[in-house]
């Protein structure tokens, strides 16, 4: 089962987060690239996302010169799209043609925030949005209509915004079904989750303890004026994101980009095992290889760990190879479907049972919305049941490949209970030879303890995730 990019039509996996998350483009006011051109690209990107393409895939088609600014603006638009769509319905009750609607919603999303957070002066943004409309044959005839709508918004801003206050989708900038699902699954914390989703996630690093230490690497960052705070055992949260090329020793494998929640997988699976003994470990949905690498880093060079990493997509298997090569690690990488062990287990693994299995299952990616703000608009409520079926099938298929007494770590980057606690409880009810070991369960997305005077360790600074560690009864 693959970790493909998020898209609507099929249940798929998340894409890796960008190396340096985009920020609000306040430093782009110099207009080295015309704002109208950026707005045109953002509107095209939104149009494609509405059609079911992932934000990652859409941004890959944007010319490199435009991409940083377009990504920053697109992420801001996606985080305020619910409000923008509610405003558009007031200004134009009849939905305009898709290309016009996308550009209008882009402009409204960038205009409807707090005055201090607007990336550009309102009249500048309106003028440039109209210029963007004039450059495209799909929107040129509607440039005057666009101008009228946006100028009316500037005149009646407060009243129009007030009229959207009772709309949950406008208030929380998530689909209504998503808000209701979170309210049901997390009745005391659903608002916290939604607020976290609308914030920009920080860049988090995982230190390779085979090559450096947390203190040494933090000092190396400080030497080049990059401030960072520890999170977890081997994590550092950067106070500002930077391109990976600027990170000391990145090419040499000193460090990797990985959220703090994902960094919990390797210790959870391997902690307490005798790593001096030969152990066979399966990473069942491995691309792009971050958790595979962390398993090997955590075990250390003296361990007798044999890791098999699977991914159904050969191109994504190349990502695993690249990750391992940069870090100086080795694993067996197979382009294969974890849900069809008959295709690979006997032939490539000799039919030998595994001592430990990591199943990072395909999911809605509802826990990583702050890194991938397109996810909320791509998903449909029906996706949850479809993905839960795939998760259950993978658990059922991989459990027989586990050695008696062995461990299986089931995880998803989801906050929906149907993909987490509900899935595991159903599995335990049907497998008397399985027991649940102490596990984190649902981890909710949060921004850590940044409000504290001395944030020595940012507890809670991680994406939304779910972990359940299952042990098979001894023979």
- Whether residue 413 lies in the annotated active site: yes
Q: How far apart are CA 48 and CA 366, in angstroms?
A: 20
What residue spans of 274-368 are helical by DSSP H?
Answer: 290-299, 314-327, 345-349
Q: How far apart are CA 145 and CA 130, in angstroms?
A: 9
Residue 467 and residue 412 in contact, taking contact as beta carbons nearer than 8 Å: no
Pick the closest to residue 356 from 278, 269, 468, 467 (CA basis): 269
Taking residue 148's Cβ as centre, other Cβ atoms within 10 Å add up to 14
Query: Given phi > 0 = left and psi -120 to 50 = alpha, else beta, which region is 405?
Result: left
Q: What per-residue string of b and e applies to 443-460 under the rule 16 or more CB within 10 Å gives b? A: bbbbbbbeeeeebebbeb
Q: What per-residue string of b and e applies to 197-234 under the rule 16 or more CB within 10 Å gives b? A: bbebbbbbbbbbebbbebeebbebbeeeebebbbbbeb
CA angle 164-169-170, nearest 5°? 35
Residue tagged active-site, from 105, 285, 317, 413: 413
Q: How far apart are CA 370 and CA 241, in angstroms?
A: 14
Q: Three-state SS string across 349-369, please?
A: HCCCCEEEEEEECCCCCCCCC
CA angle 203-168-466, nearest 5°? 40
Residue 255 and residue 203 in contact, taking contact as beta carbons nearer than 8 Å: no
Q: Which string of DSSP letters, residue by residue, matches 355-408? A: EEEEEE-----TT-TTT-TTHHHH--THHHHHHHHHHHHHHHHHGGGEEEEEEE
Pick the closest to residue 467 from 374, 361, 392, 379 (CA basis): 361
Pick the closest to residue 269 from 445, 365, 422, 406 (CA basis): 406
Provide the sign of the torsion angle of the four alpha carbons 83, 86, 91, 94, taken in this order: positive
Q: Beta strand pairing status for 434-443 and 402-412? A: unpaired
Residue 161 and residue 365 in contact, taking contact as beta carbons nearer than 8 Å: no
Q: Beta strand pairing status for 305-311 and 332-335? A: parallel
CA atoms within 13 A on the CB side of 390: 22
Residue 255 and residue 249 in contact, taking contact as beta carbons nearer than 8 Å: yes
Taking residue 320's Cβ as centre, other Cβ atoms within 10 Å add up to 24
Report, as residue numbers or ranges, the catalytic residues.
Answer: 413
């Amino acid at each position: 089962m693959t970790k493909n990019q998020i898209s609507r039509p099929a249940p798929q996996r998340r894409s890796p987060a960008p190396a340096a998350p985009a920020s609000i483009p306040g430093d782009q006011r110099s207009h080295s690239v015309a704002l109208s051109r950026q707005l045109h690209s953002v509107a095209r990107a939104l149009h494609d996302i509405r059609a079911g393409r992932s934000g990652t895939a859409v941004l890959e088609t944007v010319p490199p010169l435009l991409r940083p600014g377009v990504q920053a603006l697109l992420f801001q638009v996606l985080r305020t799209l619910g409000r923008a769509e509610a405003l558009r319905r007031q200004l134009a009750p009849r939905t305009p043609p898709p290309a016009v609607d996308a550009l209008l919603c882009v402009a409204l999303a960038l205009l409807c925030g707090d005055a201090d957070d607007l990336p550009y002066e309102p009249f500048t943004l309106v003028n440039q949005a109209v210029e963007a409309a004039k450059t495209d044959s799909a929107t040129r005839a509607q440039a005057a209509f666009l101008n009228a709508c946006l100028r009316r918004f500037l005149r009646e801003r407060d009243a129009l915004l007030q009229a959207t206050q009772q709309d949950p989708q406008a208030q929380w900038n998530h689909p209504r079904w998503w808000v209701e699902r979170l309210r049901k699954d997390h009745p005391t914390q659903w608002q916290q989750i939604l607020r976290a989703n609308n914030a920009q996630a920080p860049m988090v690093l995982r230190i390779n303890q085979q090559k450096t230490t947390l203190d040494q690497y933090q000092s190396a960052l400080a030497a080049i004026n990059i401030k960072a705070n520890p999170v977890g055992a081997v994590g550092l949260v950067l106070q500002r994101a930077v391109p990976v090329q600027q990170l000391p020793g990145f090419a040499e494998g000193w460090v990797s980009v990985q959220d703090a929640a994902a960094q919990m997988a390797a210790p959870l699976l391997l902690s307490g095992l005798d790593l001096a003994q030969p152990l066979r470990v399966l990473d069942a949905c491995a691309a792009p290889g971050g958790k595979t690498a962390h398993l090997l880093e955590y075990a250390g060079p003296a361990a007798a760990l044999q890791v098999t990493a699977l991914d159904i997509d050969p191109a994504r298997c190349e990502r695993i190879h690249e990750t391992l090569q940069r870090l100086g690690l080795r694993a067996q990488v197979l382009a294969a479907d974890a849900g069809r062990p008959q295709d690979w287990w006997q032939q490539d693994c000799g039919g030998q049972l595994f001592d430990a299995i990591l199943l990072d299952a395909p999911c809605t990616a509802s826990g990583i919305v702050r890194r991938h703000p397109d996810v909320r608009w791509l998903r449909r409520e029906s996706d949850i049941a479809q993905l839960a079926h795939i998760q259950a099938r993978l658990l059922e298929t991989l459990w027989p490949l586990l050695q008696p007494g062995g461990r299986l770590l089931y995880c998803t980057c989801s906050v929906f209970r149907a993909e987490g606690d509900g899935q595991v409880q159903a599995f335990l009810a049907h497998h008397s030879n399985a027991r649940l070991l102490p596990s984190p369960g649902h981890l909710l997305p949060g921004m850590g303890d940044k409000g504290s005077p001395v944030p020595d360790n940012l507890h809670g600074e991680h994406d939304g995730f779910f972990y359940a560690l299952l042990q098979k009864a001894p023979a």
